[in-house]
Structure 1
């Protein structure tokens, strides 16, 4: 009879497409995965994968086992969330996932004080632009610039994110710009981070005549430092640009760039004491940071510290 561990191995091979990658996911060596697959196939006298140059392709029998493994995995996640949701102790690990920019500009200023107030909690910040699964417990809380669409998730809008145009304080501190057209012909650093990034580039081309996009990076954090170190301009969320050392705002907030900031968790975890504590803390922090989000803060108070 196939054990749960056997199902895990088959599922890992299916997702990885090859033995070495599956071994890495399972934190075992390659020979262990290979022997386990051979054992299962010998036990049932049936082949679960076809071996091709492009990888391991599941046979019909393999697909049946993979489907069963996925159902078992989801049941395990459900039980885990249900038990975790009943936990009322302010101790243990708490994982929050967000983008690199939000982690650096928002969480980095508030998690230290939260940690001091809750010494029993170990907070793990996962700053990655890839969206992690709250359903599969890859994280407990997500801080996202979009409203959650999944029925199993609950979210709360905690802010409006506006954007601005920022440049080096050394180059632009004493210069005044009233409209985007005043920046005609200026050099810009573009953000190459996906659909939202393309929207910012489109905004530059649409609103600033003869704007010159001279280079780009996939990281807004990198763009902020590039602008601070040179004479080129870049679009940044006001939350980031207004607090970045060496930058000064030229125009903010920019019309037509408004976004939303959401705190999200799974329905099963909303009553967990650890999750509830961090959610409440960040809601309060976001309310205090409202002027920063919207680009309506006083420049002299927030552009000299990072």
Structure 2
């Protein structure tokens, strides 16, 4: 296989890398902000330049060929190198202006961030702040976000993490719901009631069992990955949910159905790439978030 240096096209390489990671042309096109025909032409151009077929196109899926599998690791290293160059260049900026991308869970973004962002607006009014409100972790190394607020410590040693104040989550239900079904007198009584929330209930049953509440998936008539929707379902009497204590106690229509349930500890971490920590605008946002949330 021979690939002349003059033939190298990073756009083609990136098109292949993102398509392989996303698993489809349509998903990769969305991730890169391209049209699907444009992305398809870039992948085809790379295949022509390399003289190999990278994907096996079927009616149901886009599968990597053996050549594609062998080359993917090399292209991932190229992607990481490109990200490092971008990070290093961004880290040289000393102006408190420009764009900063923050990722946080939808509950954190909705209920905890706005008061902090008011202070940030006063501190650095020329910044443009974009917020990703999602429970999916953003890849900071690939610049999916500049700063992330997470509920677990990152394992990647290239990331800078600061632990903020911890909080606790408890059971909450609407008074209307508890008036209807009766207030539980013991943890065992919870097992007859309806719960809402939990992205995948079957993965959370062990957590409840560790607190002597033995539930099954039948207890969850309404499930969602959205914590803000969970809150609204609980408020409207669909059942019991687990909410941060600061959130649950903020609504007078909610109450803790039983004090016997052991609260769940929640860590909060502020995370950024180490090189980005040397960037003034990133550092300003990081410090304001650390002070406001911590």
User: Normalising by the residue count of structure 1, what TM-score does the alignment of the two structures yield?
Assistant: 0.77
Q: Give the Å deviation of 1:183.
A: 6.3
Is 1:5–2:11 an aligned residue pair? yes
Q: How many pairs does the alignment contain?
A: 282
Q: Secondary structure at the match of 1:243?
A: coil
CA distance in 2 between partners of 1:146 and 1:280 (Å): 19
1:24–1:142 Cα change, 3 Å: closer
Of 261, 264, 267, 1:260 maps to 267
- RMSD of aligned alpha carbons: 3.4
**Cα deviation per residue 1:113-164 (whole Å; 9 max; x = unaligned)?**
3223321111111111111101111001111111111111121111122122
Paired position in structure 2 for 1:111? 117
CA contact (8 A) 1:98 1:127 kept: yes
**Cα deviation per residue 1:67-91 (whole Å; 9 max; x = unaligned)?**
3332222111101111222222111
Q: Please say which of residues 214-223 and 21-30 is displaced more in the overlay.
A: 21-30
CA distance in 1 between partners of 2:260 and 2:154 (Å): 25
Is 1:228–2:250 an aligned residue pair? no
CA distance in 2 between partners of 1:36 and 1:178 (Å): 61
1:39–1:225 Cα change, 3 Å: closer
Paired position in structure 1 for 2:140? 134
Query: Which blocks of at least 5 consecutive residues in structure 2 are unaligned?
Result: 1-6
1:55–1:253 Cα change, 3 Å: same
Paired position in structure 1 for 2:156? 150
Paired position in structure 2 for 1:239? 246
Q: Secondary structure at the match of 1:159?
A: coil
Q: Secondary structure at the match of 1:265?
A: strand
Paired position in structure 1 for 2:75? 69
Of 5, 14, 18, 2:20 maps to 14
Of 102, 107, 110, 2:108 maps to 102
Paired position in structure 1 for 2:287? 280
Matches within 5 A, 1:285-304: 285-287=292-294
Is 1:46–2:27 an aligned residue pair? no
